[in-house]
Amino acid sequence: MTGTTTARRVALSGSTRTSVERFAELVCPPELSDGRLMPALIERLELQLAAMPPLVSAALIAAFRAVDHGARLHRAARGRRLAALGRPRADGYIRALSGHGPRVRRDVVRLMKGLVVMSYYELPETRAQLGYEPDAYIADLARRRMETHGDEIRAADAAVLADEERP
Amino acid sequence: MTGPAPMPAPGLVEGHAVTGAVRVDCDVVVVGSGAGGATLAAELADAGVDVVMIEEGGHHPTGSFTTDTGRALRTLYRDGGAGAALGRPPIAIAEGRCVGGSTVINGGMSWRTPPRVLQRWAREEAVAGVTPEAMERHFEKVERRISVARQDPGSVGRDSELLRLGAQRMGWRTIDNLRNQVHCAGCNVCILGCPTAAKRSMLVTNVPRALSRGARLYADCRVDRVTRTGRRATGVRAHFIRPDGRRGPRLTVRARVVASPAGPCRPRRCWPGRASDRARGGLAGASRCTPAPRSPQSSTSPWSAGTGSIRPTRCVSSWTRGS
């Protein structure tokens, strides 16, 4: 592929990475928890953060840390951060964050979840596990399209470059 | 992926290939290569005008499109798809940043500008010759060029059928969606770049047309500002963007006319002068934010509801509520 890809690199620090990994374990399917897919997921997330405006990616990184350490204020967490909470308490905390409280906070948590979950489902291993392999399907559709409508398609391509009457 | 990529190479300059500062002269410099910019460039090039297009994003031909959402967001979208219009409420806006602009990443819904909007342009913006009657032949021409038509029935998804059914039960009138496509195969990955070129984005229509008629296109090139002499726009200053994102050499364009249709949100900061001047398009020799002659449209993921088997990865969504 040619052209620009992304303007910069984002590398999560060790402590932020811990925060993100715990968050990802909670919002992604349990298959993520065995740890094999986590490095690839983090790598995808870093790429995606790098493509965002610096202010937005910095805010999201801060939000991951805030969600992790903000658990200390959650009554059921008893002063522990999210990364140190057991599953039921951690789930309860995330549910509370995304379901209650100020709208801005709920929106930010939803955005974080969307970003992480999208990165998870884009992993080749996840796709293979789900049987989502669209490339072969698309190639087949494209072939059938050309077989059925090839003449019209070629005519449309030619018309793009052809002289035409000016209105 | 498959599909033709009728992009003639002559006239296309990509950022990675530029080694030093570039200065060019032309009649018209067009900022952006999306629905507005590419259409304008093709029309001008057809008329023998010397046109230069400048596109901030890269050139990604049809054959390079994949079904990797993250990759598409990073390569084809502005700000990785994280754009938003701040207001009450804030609205997420997905804008294209690639040769072909947002037409590469939208769903290809293609509707004529409503008469009330044309009337407002005439009334509030003092744009001449945009009555619905006068625009008719132009709309027809654009529709021919980008193959605006109804979807082949077999490629319409079950989700759309259910949506139509539900609408009809609510007593709403439904109408077929018009899309710029030639026998769309129904892959439902429009927002990742059409892998078959069935969607007639600017990438496969007006950009190649303009290039085939002598227009030049500088991709991976970000416009910093419109230059001027007194109150007259005289060109643009821009810089190329290296593949790793670093700032590359400078591009200076001298032109008789500067046109900046590039997106609804971005161009204003490039324009010199007071905000009130910019809002009036106050610079002579400059065309401000010429709207694309067809409604912009962002695409959304298909949704599912009700009964029956719905496969969101199969077939496109293609019904809309009638007015």
Please state which of the ranges A104-113, B72-81, B286-295 shows the lowest mean pLDDT: B286-295
What backbone torsions phi and psi does residue A75 show, to the nearest 5 degrees?
A: -60, -45
* Residue from the list B6, B68, B141 with its beta carbon closest to the beta carbon of A157: B6
B254 pLDDT higher than 80:
yes
How far away is chain B from the Cα of A142, in angstroms, using its nearest Cα? 6
Read off the pLDDT band of B295 (50, 70, 90): very low
**A1-39, pLDDT tens digit by residue?**
444 445 578 889 999 999 999 999 999 998 887 788 999
Whose CA is closest to B131, among B113, B115, B150? B115
CB within 8 Å: B182 and A137: no
Beta strands in B161-300 (DSSP E): 174-176, 178-180, 216-218, 221-229, 232-241, 247-260, 286-288
* Residue from the list A47, A132, A143 with its beta carbon closest to the beta carbon of B313: A132
CB within 8 Å: A4 and B147: no
Q: Which chain B residue shows the shortest CA-CA distance from A41?
A: B70
CB within 8 Å: A3 and B219: yes
> Which whole number is the average pLDDT over B183-198?
94
CB within 8 Å: A53 and B79: yes
- β-strands B232-241, B221-229: how paired? antiparallel
SS3 B134: helix
Q: Looking at residue B200, what is its pLDDT?
A: 97
- What ipTM was assigned to the predicted interfaces of this complex? 0.82
Whether residue B203 contacts residue B100, with contact meaning beta carbons closer than 8 Å, is answered with: yes
Q: Looking at residue B269, what is its pLDDT?
A: 58
SS3 B240: strand
Residues 6+ apart with CB under 8 A from B262: B31, B32, B34, B36, B37, B56, B101, B223
Q: Looking at residue A74, what is its pLDDT?
A: 85
> What burial class does residue B185 get, using C-beta atoms within 10 Å of its C-beta: 0-12 exposed, 13-18 middle, 19+ buried?
buried
**A44-57, pLDDT tens digit by residue?**
999 999 888 888 89
Which of the 8 DSSP states describes residue B20? S
Read off the pLDDT band of A43 (50, 70, 90): very high
Please state which of the ranges B13-27, B105-119, B297-311 shows the lowest mean pLDDT: B297-311
- Domains of chain A by residue range: 14-132, 133-167
Read off the pLDDT band of B315 (50, 70, 90): low
Q: Record the tokens describing residue A89, joined without a space.
A: 């308490």
* Residue from the list A4, A6, A56 with its beta carbon closest to the beta carbon of B220: A4
Interface test with chain B among A138, A154, A165, by most B beta carbons within 10 Å: A138
CB within 8 Å: B245 and A157: no
**Percentage above 90 pLDDT, chain A:** 60
Identity of the residue numbered A162 = A
Fold of B12-99+193-288: FAD/NAD(P)-binding domain (3.50.50)
Residues 6+ apart with CB under 8 A from B273: B228, B231, B282, B283
Query: What are residue B22's DSSP bridge partners?
Result: B251
CB within 8 Å: B204 and A160: yes
CA diameter of chain A: 76
Please state which of the ranges A44-48, A142-146, B6-10, B277-281 shows the lowest mean pLDDT: B277-281
CB within 8 Å: B182 and A153: yes
DSSP sequence for A34-78: GSSSHHHHHHHHHHHHHHS-HHHHHHHHHHHHHHHHHGGGSGGGT
Cis peptide before B89 (omega within 30 of 0): yes
CB within 8 Å: A141 and B185: yes
Find tokens 């298909």 and name the residue.
B302
What backbone torsions phi and psi does residue A90 show, to the nearest 5 degrees?
A: -65, -45
Q: Which residue has the higher pLDDT, B300 or A85?
A: A85
> From its phi and psi, is residue A31 left (phi > 0), alpha (psi between -120 and 50) or beta?
alpha
Query: What are residue B320's DSSP bridge partners?
Result: B175
First to last CA, chain A: 38
- β-strands B91-92, B148-150: how paired? unpaired
Please enumerate residues of A whose Cβ is less than 8 A from a Cβ of B.
Answer: 1-8, 44, 47-53, 56, 118-119, 122, 132, 134-135, 137-139, 141-145, 148-149, 152-153, 156-157, 159-161, 164, 166-167
Whether residue B72 contacts residue B105, with contact meaning beta carbons closer than 8 Å, is answered with: yes
Would the CA dihedral through B254, B260, B266, B271 be positive or negative?
positive
Q: Record the tokens describing residue B233, joined without a space.
A: 């726009």
Whether residue B51 contacts residue B193, with contact meaning beta carbons closer than 8 Å, is answered with: no
Query: What are residue B30's DSSP bridge partners?
Result: B53, B259
- Residue B250: CB atoms within 10 A of its CB come to 16
Per-residue buried b or exposed e for B19-57, using 16+ beta carbons within 10 Å of the residue's own CB: eeebebebebbbbbbbbbbbbbbbbbbbeebbbbbbbbb
Q: Looking at residue B6, what is its pLDDT?
A: 47
A-chain residues within 8 Å CB-CB of B3?
142
Q: Which chain A residue shows the shortest CA-CA distance from B218?
A: A3
H or E segment to which residue B211 belongs = helix B206-212
Distance CA B149, CA B105 (A): 18
A-chain residues within 8 Å CB-CB of B148?
none
The CA-CA-CA angle for residues B166, B172, B176, to 5°, reads 80
- pTM passes above 0.90: no
Please state which of the ranges A1-5, A85-89, B102-106, B312-316 shows the lowest mean pLDDT: A1-5
> From its phi and psi, is residue B236 left (phi > 0), alpha (psi between -120 and 50) or beta?
beta
CB within 8 Å: B66 and A156: no
Cβ-Cβ contacts under 8 Å between A and B: the total is: 146
Whether residue B54 contacts residue B31, with contact meaning beta carbons closer than 8 Å, is answered with: yes
Whose CA is closest to B190, among B308, B310, B38, B297? B297
Q: Record the tokens describing residue B207, joined without a space.
A: 């950009």
CB within 8 Å: A135 and B66: yes
Q: Which chain B residue shows the shortest CA-CA distance from A60?
A: B82
The CA-CA-CA angle for residues B201, B310, B196, to 5°, reads 25
Interface test with chain B among A2, A107, A115, A120, by most B beta carbons within 10 Å: A2
- Domains of chain B by residue range: 12-99+193-288
CB within 8 Å: A118 and B70: yes
CB within 8 Å: A138 and B99: no
* Residue from the list A44, A137, A160 with its beta carbon closest to the beta carbon of B205: A160
A-chain residues within 8 Å CB-CB of B66?
135
Q: Looking at residue A75, what is its pLDDT?
A: 83
